[in-house]
Amino acid sequence: MPTLVSSAKPLLRQFIRGSLGTGVAVAARAAGALVLNKLFATFAPAGGLTLLAQFQNLMALLTSLPNDGVHVGLVKYLAPLRPGSPRHRAWLGAAVALNALALLGGAAVLAATSRAGWNWQTGVVLVLGIALLTGQGLLGAALLAAGRLRSYIGLAVTLAALGTAAAAGMLLAQAPLPRVLLSYLLAQGLTLLPALWLARRAGVLPKWRPAAPVSRTALRGLGQFLLMAVSSLLFGRAVDYVLRDHLLATYGPARTDLWQAVAKLSDNYTMVFGAVMSSVFYPRLAALAAQPRQARRYLLSVLVLLVPLLAAGLGLLFACRSWLLPLLFAPRLLAAQELLAPQLLGDWAKFLSWVFIYQLMARARTGPYIAVQAASAVVFAGMLALLLPRLGLAGAVWAHAARYGLVLAACVAVYLRGRRARQ
């Protein structure tokens, strides 16, 4: 009788082939991020790397509801539909409406909490760039749902190349940092133009019908994913933003750059892992939502593959830390190697916990998903309050390791309890 994992071998082969297929996009995005980090660490003033990360965090906050909510749900609901069909158009229309509301809400929050050095003109440019990025993300999700992986990869490569080139040009021209950051955003937003062409060519972009009503069913369906994205925003990205602000105020820009170098290195390989999981693992898991037994086999087979693979990859990074950090950033940031071990340990646990959390997303389990995010944030805040006064800057990375170690333990415990209940 075949075992649970061996019976999932065809699905596992699909995961591996799909992962290799996204290699070009992942490599382009990772290379762009590495070059950008190196430029900011070398040519920007002290603290420039942290300011880049804070701006990218702000971008993520403003695009979180569309990208982590609406577009994730869109992939799930569009995947089984024929492009151009009435239901396909209904889901796309609902996604556009929800994205517009999210953009207006983000603009209102930005206006109400404007920071020093950011006037209304820069705010308008920021919102414009976010709107362009949101449109590109929606079209990319439609292409991914239609199985147009090559088009999706092409967009990812274009986005990485344009954003990095614009920031590099402005940095080398010694432009003020706010102008560098806005140029980086707008250049990425320009990928909306090739996205429109690719979507029209693939037939996933219907003809505009301004009188068409928005489907309430589609709004409710995508609304579940929007709620999950709200939890990620409040308990994830917003927490990171506040933490970075606190570290800047407490330790100063130059010292915070040490923590930021480790966090940026983590962001780079997290981007690689996230791209594979969101473009290969999640769509397949969502397609198996109506076949829970097959979905569990797929999840377990991927998990068995990732446990040693991630440990080996992160261990290799740790072994190379003494020359990798100066190479990727700047020699002055070599001292960041003291913070690397707990960061890598926490990331290993985080990636494995994502395998279980993606299952909640694929099944649209809004309540449990929000509960996991909230509990994780509470644990992280408690660990920070406990460890930062005692360990200083190192407390931030040890709190990260403790947070995701507990999240992974909880995910495994719930999975095993559910498996015993099914036997």
Over residues 46-63, the pLDDT tens digits come to 778 888 888 888 888 888
User: Which residue from 360, 350, 338 is spatially nearest to 380, judged by alpha carbons?
Assistant: 350
Distance CA 263, CA 50 (A): 10
**Residue 99, burial from CB neighbour count under 10 angstroms (0-12, 13-18, 19+):** buried
Mean pLDDT of all residues in the chain? Answer: 84
Q: Roughly how many angstroms between the first and final C-alpha of the chain, as a whole number?
A: 16
Cβ-Cβ contacts under 8 Å for 308 (sequence gap 6 or more): none
Distance CA 55, CA 60 (A): 9
For 233-247, how does the pLDDT look when each residue is reduced to its tens digit (9 = 90+)? 888 878 888 898 899
Tokens (6 digits) for 337? 């190697």
Predicted confidence band of residue 308 (pLDDT cuts 50, 70, 90):
very high
Predicted confidence band of residue 150 (pLDDT cuts 50, 70, 90):
confident
Distance CA 328, CA 385 (A): 31
* Degrees to nearest 5, angle at CA 370 with 398 and 300: 75
For 209-231, how does the pLDDT look when each residue is reduced to its tens digit (9 = 90+)? 555 678 888 888 888 888 878 87
| Rounded-to-5 percentages of helix, strand, coil across the chain | 85, 0, 15
What three-state secondary structure class fits 84? Answer: coil
